[in-house]
Structure 1
């Protein structure tokens, strides 16, 4: 399992880093392409939009196919698209290349999630999922700093490095991964995996809880930096260090997740985490001292690292015949939640003082998700 852990961690880390490294480049690219910063932000949106839309297509298309081939094809597209970003002659071409990078990533990450139950079983599955979660966490911590450091040499450098690393990972995964063939469902059509998923009430409830919970999470995390700036008058560099510290909490949660799962089980552990997050979010706006605010947020990020592999494990177990589609739908649901959460969070942040609206909205989302899980457990018993 160790060889899968390392390579999957590096692959997820690379993709996560690529999605974030463009953020510190926006002022440079805006100047280079003679556009405003607001328009430059479309380069971030193009990647996310490509990923979110094509994840819904990649899932059904992957059923009955060799997941190894899909992962490798995605890496080729991802590497080439990112490489061409370094030489985009104008803003329009940069948008196209970022869009294709997001599309390519949508064929990689969900297939890695879907491959886990095939490659390992039992407790090793949770460990491998936690390792993947750690890759996401580390990329969130390191993505912006890495982009900043590489861009200080020349702005094209981050894209070239990511492309070269993608080529190296392609070679490693081509040799390392076995054939990950899944049986093609009877009467298979493009929509049949979705019909299978949504005909299962337990799976529908899991996705509903996932969407509600992450809408609340993203409404909060999107504006944490703004709250720290306005509520505690922190400069940008200090906020950066604070977010780095919070990211370490998320990484620590990913490391602790397998051991806690062994003790509690995925369903009970996720329920406990959601209930605790609801309580933490309720008390966040009462943190009038900076140290208390950071400590409270650190607990949330720690719990956030614990909960990720539990969601994926429970959803996959509820629909084992459509792992590729459930994994892709998982990613698309999280991206949809981030979009809705960002819009809702902005309205709540300006409408209520000292983070009350945002945090209590997040608390309510976690509480509703907890109650949905309780209902699922009650129906199972």
Structure 2
């Protein structure tokens, strides 16, 4: 597998938009990811994402990502921020600050970075950190899509501790969760820090040697996302529907096309949770589709009956623009195309299903592969 090299702002855009679709509604906003990586590219030059197989077994590698949610703040929360003096950022790239703080706390010297997941911010963001700190970014991620819970990453499913985990927000606050009794509680504590910072922090975690990283990484997913984003852009520029491009590259099928008729959401425990209800148009006229999300899309219903569910992927594209869109960016009245993509094989193994299938989220629904539900 050849190394992925990003050398232009267009390359950054293509990676971010491809990863945004793969983030199935989550993974952070494209605007944040492209801002960070374009700035690093201008300062430090091209970024080369190394084939994970070529990374030294004994060198230390870490994951950096944003933790929290992107739900809009209420006027009361905005006022509270001002009262606490949170007006200007101290850190433009708090991902880098979290990594440096983890090195300081542990005494380890990090050599490589693996994105935690695929998404508009959580894929390009770590690459910006690698450029700015002179580290090696690896072509892959630990999830193969985006996920709401850090413990749903492959290292955690295999039993790798989340801690020590360093947290840094943009205001200048730094904390470390040195040890947690389990990864679920470690993430809960991290989410509390994000909630205290009004929605979002950066965290550095899964500090492991290269030989361990190679057991858990989905190799080549950044290249996959970059090529997807580029192909989608070329289709848009030619005035073509991007849907066939996605289906050709990732497989799957169109699940629904329609208008977002109803949106409900809340932010329990720091997660963006709710439902989108769509009214069909075109070949789906007269039908309804419902999506339950927890940051990302996880459970769907076609005319009230369970349809495609996690760990299979339900991506969403704005029909009028051909651009992927995050769950919190969707608004009532928008026309949306929902695309189902089969899960990666690793996600269908029993230990992964225990953390990813609908029952993990409290639904009395068994996982059925989408090839059987939506052939």
If the length of structure 1 is used for normalisation, what is the TM-score? 0.27
More helix by share: 1
If the length of structure 2 is used for normalisation, what is the TM-score? 0.27
Higher relative contact order (CA 8 A, sep 6+): 1
More strand by share: 2
